[in-house]
Amino acid sequence: MFGMNSLWLMPTEVPATAAPVSVVRLVLPEGEHITTEIAESFAEQVRAEGGGVPQPVLIVISGIASLSRGARAVFSRSRSASAIALVGASAVDRVLANFLLGGEPPACPTSYFGDEDTAVAWLLERIHGS
Amino acid sequence: MAADAGDPRLAMLVDGIVRLSRGDLGSRIVPSPARDDVDAVITGVNLLAEELELVYRQFEKRVENRTAMLHQAHLDMKRMAMTDALTGLSNRVDLVEKIEKALSAQRDGSPPPALLLLDLDSFKNVNDRFGHDAGDDVLREVAERLRGAVRTTDTVARLGGDEFAILVTQATMEVALGVANRALDVLSKSIDVGEFDVHPRASIGLRVATEEHTAESLLHEADTAMYAAKNEGRSAIKAFEPVMLYDRQLRTLMASELRDAIGTDQLCVHYQPIVNLRDGSINGVEVLVRWAHPTRGMISPESFIPLAEEIGAISDLDRWVMATALQQYAIWRAARLIPEDFQIRVNISAIELRQLDMVDFVRGLLKRMSMPPRSLVIEITESALVSGGEVETYSLLSFKQLGVCIEIDDFGTGYSSISYLRKLPVDMVKVDRSILREPATGSWQPEFVAAVFQLIRAAGLGAVFEGIETQEQAEFLRSLGDVSGQGFFFSKPLPEPEVTALLLSGSALPLPQVGQH
Binned at pLDDT 50, 70 and 90, residue A1 comes out as very low
Determine which of A69, A92, A94, A96 to mutate to test the interface with B (most B C-beta atoms within 10 Å): A92
Nearest chain B residue (CA) to A88: B35
Name the residue facing A95 among B40, B50, B54 (closest C-beta).
Answer: B40
Q: Which of A53-62, A91-100, B348-357 has the lowest average pLDDT?
A: B348-357
User: What's the mean pLDDT when you consider all of chain B?
Assistant: 89
Enter the DSSP assignment of B83: B
Q: Closest residue of B to A67, CA-based?
A: B47
Kindly indicate the confidence band of residue B407, based on its pLDDT and cuts at 50, 70 and 90. very high
CA distance readout (Å), B427 to A65, B228, B339, B352, B356: 109, 37, 20, 19, 21
**pLDDT for position B351:** 80
User: Nearest C-alpha of chain B: how many angstroms from A90?
Assistant: 6
Q: Are B484 and B467 in contact (CB under 8 A)?
A: no
Q: What is the mean pLDDT of residues B214-243?
A: 91
By C-alpha distance, the chain B residue nearest A99 is B47
Q: pLDDT class for A9, splitting at 50, 70, 90?
A: very low
Put simply, the answer to whether B40 touches A94 (Cβ < 8 Å) is: yes
Is residue B484 over pLDDT 90?
yes
pLDDT digits (tens, 9 = 90+) for A82-117: 999 999 999 999 999 988 887 777 889 999 999 999
Q: Please provide the DSSP assignment of B435-457 as one string.
A: HHS-TTTS---HHHHHHHHHHHH
pLDDT band at A12 (very low <50, low <70, confident <90, very high): very low
pLDDT band of B417, cuts 50, 70, 90: low
Region B425-452 average pLDDT: 81
pLDDT at position B201 is 84
Residues of A with Cβ-Cβ distance to B36 under 8 angstroms: 90-92
Helix intervals (H) in B279-313: 301-310
Q: Which residue, B203, B123, B125, is CA-closest to B384?
A: B125
Nearest chain A Cα to B48, which residue?
A: A99
Nearest-Cα distance to chain A for B29, in Å, is 12
Of B40, B50, B54, the CB nearest to A92: B40
**B489-497: average pLDDT:** 94
Chain B residue numbers with beta carbons less than 8 Å from the beta carbon of A32 are none
Confirm or reject contact between B36 and chain A (CB < 8 A).
yes
Determine, for residues A90 and B36 on separate chains, whether the beta-carbon distance falls below 8 Å: yes
Hey, what amino acid is at A10? M
- The CA distance from A8 to the nearest CA of chain B, in Å, is 32
Q: Rounded to a whole number, what is the distance in Å from the CA of B100 to chain A's nearest CA? A: 56
> Do residue A90 and residue B44 have CB atoms under 8 angstroms apart?
no
* All domains in chain A, ordered by first residue: 4-9+21-128 (3.40.970.30)
- pLDDT value of position B131: 81
**Distant-in-sequence, close-in-space partners of B151: CB < 8 Å, separation ≥ 6:** B168, B179
**Among residues 39-58 of chain B, which lie with CB inside 8 Å of chain A?**
39-40, 43-44, 46-47, 50, 54
pLDDT value of residue B4: 53
Distances (CA, A) of B57 to A46, B22, B25, B264, B270: 33, 16, 10, 79, 88
Q: Which residue has the higher pLDDT, B336 or B412?
A: B336
Spatial distance between the Cα atoms of B43 and B55, rounded to a whole number of angstroms: 18
- ipTM score of the complex? 0.79
Q: What are phi and psi of B50, to 5 degrees?
A: -60, -45
Contact B47 A63 (CB under 8 A): no
Q: What phi, psi does B156 have (nearest 5°)?
A: -105, 135
pLDDT at B3: 46
Sort out which chain B residues have CB atoms less than 8 A from A69's CB and list them: 50, 54
Interchain contact, A91 vs B37, CB within 8 Å? yes
Closest residue in B to A97 (Cα) is B44
Task: Reply yes or no on whether the pLDDT at A11 is more than 70.
Answer: no
Q: Taking the CB of residue B278, how many other CB atoms lie within 10 A of it?
A: 12
Partner-chain residue, chosen from B35, B47, B54, that has the shortest CB–CB distance to A99: B47
Per-residue pLDDT at A117: 94
- Given a contact cutoff of 8 angstroms between Cβ atoms, the answer to whether A123 and A85 are in contact is yes
Range of lowest pLDDT (B61-70, B473-482, B492-501) = B473-482
- Greater confidence (B513 vs A118) lies with A118
Q: Looking at residue A16, what is its pLDDT?
A: 42
pLDDT tier, A6 (very low <50, low <70, confident <90, very high otherwise): very low
Calpha distance B453→B433 (Å, rounded): 13
Find chain B residues with C-beta within 8 A of A94's C-beta: 40
A95 contacts B35? CB cut-off 8 A: no
What's the rounded mean pLDDT across residues B140-165? Answer: 94
Chain A residue set in contact with B, beta carbons under 8 Å: 63, 66, 69, 89-96, 99
**Percent of chain B whose predicted confidence (pLDDT) is above 70:** 95
Q: Residue B397: how many CA atoms within 13 Å on its side-chain side?
A: 8
| The predicted structure's pLDDT at residue B516 | 43
Residues of B in contact with A95 (CB under 8 A): 40, 43-44, 47
The answer to whether B30 faces chain A, any CB pair under 8 Å, is no
Q: What is the pLDDT of residues B178-226, one digit of tens each?
A: 999 999 999 988 888 777 778 888 999 999 999 999 999 999 999 999 9
Distance CA B173, CA B115 (A): 10
**Residue B49 C-alpha, separation from nearest chain A C-alpha, in angstroms:** 12
- Rg from Cα positions in chain A: 14
Higher pLDDT, B483 or B125: B483
Provide the total of helices (H) and of strands (E) in chain B, helices listed first: 19, 17
What pLDDT sits at residue B447? 86
Report the pLDDT averaged over residues B340-345.
95
CB-defined contacts A:B, below 8 A: 33
Give the mean pLDDT of B75-88.
89
Q: Which residues of B touch A36 (CB under 8 A)?
A: none
| Least CB–CB distance from B35: residue in A69, A92, A99 | A92
What is the spatial distance between Cα B159 and Cα B425, in angstroms, rounded to a whole number? 39
Q: Is the pLDDT of residue B389 over 90?
A: no
The percentage of residues in chain B with a pLDDT greater than 90, rounded to a whole number, is 58
* Mean of pLDDT values over B442-452: 82
Which is more confidently placed, B109 or B482? B109
Print the SS3 string covering B369-402: CCCCHHHEEEEEEHHHHHHCCHHHHHHHHHHHHH
- pLDDT at site B353: 84
Per-residue confidence (pLDDT) for residue B5, from 0 to 100: 62
Examine the pLDDT at B170 and tell me if it is beyond 50.
yes
Angle at B197 between CA B196 and CA B198, to 5 degrees: 120
- Average model confidence (pLDDT) for chain A? 82
Q: How far is A25 from chain B (nearest CA, A)?
A: 23
| Chain A residues inside the 8 Å CB shell of B54 | 69
Inter-chain CB proximity B43 and A92 less than 8 Å: yes
- Best A93, A95, A96 member to test B by mutation, with max B CBs in 10 Å, is A95
